[in-house]
């Protein structure tokens, strides 16, 4: 044991101080990973909730909270390590039978989700954690039960990955419903609703297997590593399930900048397709993933959205980026896009088939690197806005069931056109 630790200390990218702290903790059953960067406003209550969740769900287990901090300047790490479990006990009347450790390490001076996750995985491997969970510091409504829901199936039932499902507004998570979910489902054959999740549970063995992959050194593992993790679990035929957590509320509800989000998600998905080709090329159709709780709940209250602006950005993009699209897309697809870009606001319709072909052609061009890969991802942004307009119009008055039916129809279109992607993949110059 001591020898292994010394070897790890010599070879590891973890700091000596962090390694010392980990060695002091010893082996654990449960590990909670908490990547942070300037989250002082919320981190205190989140750590309280995590501690409460551990006390309620796993009072007999050896547990640790690992905070991987990306250079916070607001004292976030001190808040994580400073929260006492005694603050939780009086309110909830809960008692842990073991010491609950909270340790923090600064992995870099700026936030890098990939390095943060790698740090947590390395800590989990060193501590031989049986079940781990990654929690988001931005979840405004995290509940203690989330820990049991994400960790329970792993610790008690021997599963390897638990991804969440949420109660969402029908117009939230449009990149997930229009691209990530249908495409991962069609390609990898498993219906994982939130393949790119801010919080999820995983087994120590899955974490160790992923830690040993090449993606950390080839530059592809930095952005969207959470998605790569889910895809690696599917590709590796690990046991996966989904767990319904309830409503998801972010601390700040402003729309994230689309391009960085596309890099983290679509970029990560496209990057994974090349090494995973032997896996996804032989998959046909899709299977549902086992789910505890509700499959997916949809909120329907009215939401004000500037569709006109989105459509204008689509039309401008199609007109201005013609030369870029000619490098990425087939002439037929470019012509179709130009045709719909000229449509009026009420007639505007970006059909599912054209959207799927667009995405598949982007994926194939990404693999062939016809131009800079980052430029390919950026060029998708205006087209995604166009697809969003159609989705908003199609589901303007739709019920929860209607929205689900439309998403299902899109998923089936992705599955139906999968041979088109294979054709592009194998024969495109």
Partner 1 sequence: MREMIISELSQALQEIARGFAHYLPRLIVMLILAAVGWVIAFVAKVVLRSILRLVKFDKLSENAGASQLLSKAALPSATEILSRFVFWVAWLGFILLGVSVLGILGLQEQVARFFLFLPRLFVAMFILFFGLLAASFFSRAALLAAVNANVPSPRVLSLALRSIIIVFVLSIVFEELGLAEQTMLVAFGIAFGAMMLGLAIAFGMGGRDLARRFLEKKIVRGKKEENEDELSPL
Binding residues vs partner 1 (CB under 8 A): 171-176, 196, 250, 253-256, 258-259, 261-262, 265, 303-306, 309-310, 313, 316-317, 320-321, 324, 370-372, 375, 378-379, 381-382, 384, 388
- The separation between CA 55 and the C-alpha centre of its own chain, rounded to angstroms, equals 27
Instruction: Compare residues 237 and 309 and give the one whose CB is closer to partner 1.
Output: 309
Least distance in Å: CB of 375 to partner 1?
Answer: 6
What is the smallest separation between the CB atom of 304 and partner 1, expressed in angstroms?
6
Q: Report the C-alpha gap between 117 and 158 in whole angstroms.
A: 22
In whole angstroms, how close is the CB of 406 to partner 1 at the nearest point?
Answer: 16
Minimum separation from the CB atom of position 390 to partner 1 (A): 14
- Based on CB atoms, which residue is closest to partner 1, 283 or 383? 383
Where do we find the tokens 């699209």? 325
Would the CA dihedral through 119, 120, 121, 122 be positive or negative? positive
Cβ distance to partner 1 smaller for residue 29 or 138: 138
Task: Tell me if 138 sits within 8 A of 198, measured CB to CB.
Answer: yes
**Would you say 90 or 302 has its CB closer to partner 1?**
302
Smallest separation (angstroms) from partner 1 to the CB of 381: 5
User: Which of 61, 208, 62 minimizes the C-alpha distance to 125?
Assistant: 208
Q: State the number of CA atoms in the 13 A half-sphere of 171 facing the CB.
A: 22
CA distance 83 to 39: 14
CB proximity list for 306: less than 8 A, separation 6 or greater: none
Question: For helices 352-368 and 331-341, what crossing angle results, to 10°?
Answer: 130
Query: Shortest Cβ distance from residue 322 to partner 1 (Å)?
Result: 9
Closest CB to partner 1 among residues 71, 173: 173
User: What values do phi and psi take at 21, rounded to 5?
Assistant: -65, -40
> At closest approach, how far in Å is the CB of 284 from partner 1?
29
Q: Report in angstroms how near the CB of residue 258 gets to partner 1 at its nearest.
A: 6
Residue 235 or 379: the one with the smaller Cβ distance to partner 1 is 379
215: DSSP letter: G
**What residues pair up with 69 in beta bridges, in sequence order?**
36, 106
Q: Over the Cα atoms of the chain, what is R_g?
A: 22
Closer residue to partner 1 (CB): 6 or 256: 256
Nearer to partner 1, 54 or 313 (CB): 313
Distance of CA 258 to CAs 40, 89, 285, 319, 384, Å? 25, 42, 30, 20, 9
């Amino acid at each position: 044991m001591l020898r292994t630790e010394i070897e790890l200390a010599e070879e590891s990218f973890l700091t000596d101080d962090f390694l010392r702290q980990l060695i002091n903790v010893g082996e654990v059953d449960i590990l909670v990973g908490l990547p942070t960067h300037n989250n002082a406003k919320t981190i205190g209550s989140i750590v309280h909730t995590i501690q409460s969740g551990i006390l309620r769900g796993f009072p007999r287990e050896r547990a640790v909270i690992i905070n991987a901090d990306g250079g916070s300047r607001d004292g976030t790490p001190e808040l994580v390590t400073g929260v006492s479990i005694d603050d939780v006990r009086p309110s909830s009347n809960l008692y842990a039978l073991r010491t609950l450790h909270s340790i923090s390490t600064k992995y870099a001076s700026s936030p890098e989700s990939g390095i943060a996750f790698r740090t947590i995985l390395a800590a989990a491997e060193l501590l031989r954690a049986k079940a781990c969970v990654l929690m988001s510091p931005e979840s405004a409504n995290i509940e203690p039960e989330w820990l049991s829901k994400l960790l329970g199936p792993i610790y008690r039932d021997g599963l390897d990955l638990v991804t969440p499902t949420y109660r969402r507004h029908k117009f939230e998570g449009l990149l997930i419903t229009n691209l990530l979910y249908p495409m991962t489902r069609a390609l990898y054959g498993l219906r994982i609703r939130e393949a790119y999740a801010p919080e999820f549970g995983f087994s120590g063995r899955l974490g160790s297997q992923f830690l040993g992959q090449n993606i950390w050194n080839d530059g592809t593992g930095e952005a969207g590593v959470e998605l790569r993790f889910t895809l690696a679990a599917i590709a590796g035929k690990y046991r996966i399930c989904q767990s319904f957590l309830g409503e998801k509320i972010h601390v700040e509800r402003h729309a994230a900048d689309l391009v960085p989000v596309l890099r983290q998600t679509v970029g990560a998905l496209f990057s994974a397709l090349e090494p995973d080709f032997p896996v996804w090329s032989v998959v046909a159709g899709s299977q549902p993933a086992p789910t505890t709780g509700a499959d997916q709940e949809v909120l329907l209250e009215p939401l004000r959205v500037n569709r006109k602006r989105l459509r204008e950005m689509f039309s401008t993009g199609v007109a201005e980026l013609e030369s870029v699209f000619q490098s990425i897309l087939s002439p037929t697809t470019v012509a179709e896009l130009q045709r719909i870009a000229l449509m009026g606001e009420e007639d505007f319709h970006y059909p599912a088939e054209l959207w799927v072909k667009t995405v598949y052609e982007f994926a194939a061009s990404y693999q062939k690197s016809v131009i800079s890969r980052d430029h390919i991802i950026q060029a998708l942004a205006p087209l995604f806005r166009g697809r969003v307009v159609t989705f908003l119009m199609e589901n303007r008055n739709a019920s929860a069931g209607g929205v689900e039916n439309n998403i299902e129809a899109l998923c089936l279109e992705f599955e139906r056109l999968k041979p088109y992607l294979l054709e592009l993949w194998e024969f495109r110059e």
